[in-house]
């Protein structure tokens, strides 16, 4: 899943793709680099970000969704608003990616149900301008799985087809650095929920902290975290993730192939796929 942020204030690429023509061209470049989906978002959800109006979000998003669909791309819309989700699906989007998992807008689950497209339910505890204060957990893996399961139950009760649900642990959203690593290490617990898992680690703070300057302690700048993001992509694929959401598609597309190949070996009893085929397995 390649990211196209049509925003002035996203944490690593804010302002780069505000022009609809440039945003569409960038999205099509990501497709050429290996993206299966282009995730278009018009509202930043970086830590501390404030909400924008629905009208402004629509103004930013719809021309890009239409342009990408016309160019042959499969498009997901990154939004917490039912009105934006509905309009984007009408414009050709084939997936709704709601970082609030249906909690920010009471009408979102019903809108997702009526749309008939897949719906990403991300673990969420509160808005971006408050989420850093909501990162307290008794056991982050168990708590996130339990709360995510509760969010899924709510959207299913509102009519969303369970077969169209994708879950996301919400790395960086009301999580501290240690919590993000714990969740990546607990992928098996997430996959046991029975839904495809989306992992969004791209350029996030926990990677910047891991790669901090050894002298000054300053976090690695966001745009210099793509190699680490690709490493996470390989690990996520090896542990059964459905997709990874990334800014730099080329590196992660290769990384996903590596992780997927390793997973195939593990599921075939430790033999290389070619060796297994030669033996008739």
**DSSP code of 76?**
E
Q: What is the 3-state secondary structure (H, E, C) of 143-154?
A: HHHHHHHHHHHH
CA-CA distances (angstroms) from residue 158 to 83, 88, 165?
16, 20, 13
Residue 263: is it exposed, middle or buried by C-beta count within 10 angstroms (0-12/13-18/19+)? middle
Burial code of 63-94, b = ≥16 C-beta within 10 A, e = fewer? bbbbbbbeeebbbbbbbbbbbbbbbbbebbbb
Q: Which two tokens stand for residue 244?
A: 């990874």
- What is the Cα–Cα distance from 274 to 70, expressed in whole angstroms? 39
- What is the Cα–Cα distance from 166 to 163, expressed in whole angstroms? 9
Q: Which two tokens stand for residue 232?
A: 């996470």
DSSP string, 10-34: -TTTTTTT-SHHHHHHHHHHHHHTT
- What is the Cα–Cα distance from 16 to 72, expressed in whole angstroms? 22
DSSP-based helix, strand, coil % in the chain, nearest 5: 45, 10, 40
Does residue 245 carry a catalytic annotation?
A: yes
- What is the Cα–Cα distance from 131 to 114, expressed in whole angstroms? 30
Among 81, 204, 205, 239, the active-site one is 204
Residues classed as catalytic: 204, 245
């Amino acid at each position: 899943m390649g990211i196209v942020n049509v925003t002035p204030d996203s944490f690593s690429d804010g302002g780069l793709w505000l022009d609809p023509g440039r945003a569409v061209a960038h999205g099509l470049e990501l497709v050429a680099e290996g993206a299966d989906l282009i995730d278009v978002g018009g509202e930043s959800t970086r830590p501390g970000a404030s909400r924008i109006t629905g009208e402004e979000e629509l103004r930013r998003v719809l021309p890009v969704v239409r342009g990408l669909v016309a160019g042959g791309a499969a498009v997901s819309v990154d939004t917490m608003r039912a009105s934006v989700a509905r309009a984007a699906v009408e414009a050709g989007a084939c997936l709704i990616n709601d970082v609030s998992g249906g909690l920010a807008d009471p009408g979102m689950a019903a809108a997702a149900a009526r749309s008939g497209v897949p719906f990403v339910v991300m673990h969420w505890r509160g808005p971006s301008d408050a989420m850093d204060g909501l990162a307290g957990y008794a056991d982050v893996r168990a708590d996130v799985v339990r709360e995510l399961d509760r969010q899924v139950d709510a959207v299913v009760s509102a009519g969303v087809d369970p077969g169209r649900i994708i879950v996301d642990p919400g790395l960086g959203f009301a999580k501290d650095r240690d919590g993000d690593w714990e969740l990546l290490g607990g992928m098996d617990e997430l996959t046991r929920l029975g839904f495809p898992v989306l992992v969004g680690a791209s350029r996030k703070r926990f990677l910047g902290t891991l790669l901090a300057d050894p002298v000054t302690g300053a976090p690695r700048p966001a745009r210099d975290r793509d190699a680490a993001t690709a490493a996470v992509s390989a690990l996520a694929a090896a542990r059964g993730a459905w997709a990874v959401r990334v800014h730099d598609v080329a590196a992660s597309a290769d990384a996903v192939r590596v992780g997927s190949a390793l997973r195939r070996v593990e599921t075939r009893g430790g033999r290389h796929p070619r060796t297994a085929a030669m033996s008739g397995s």
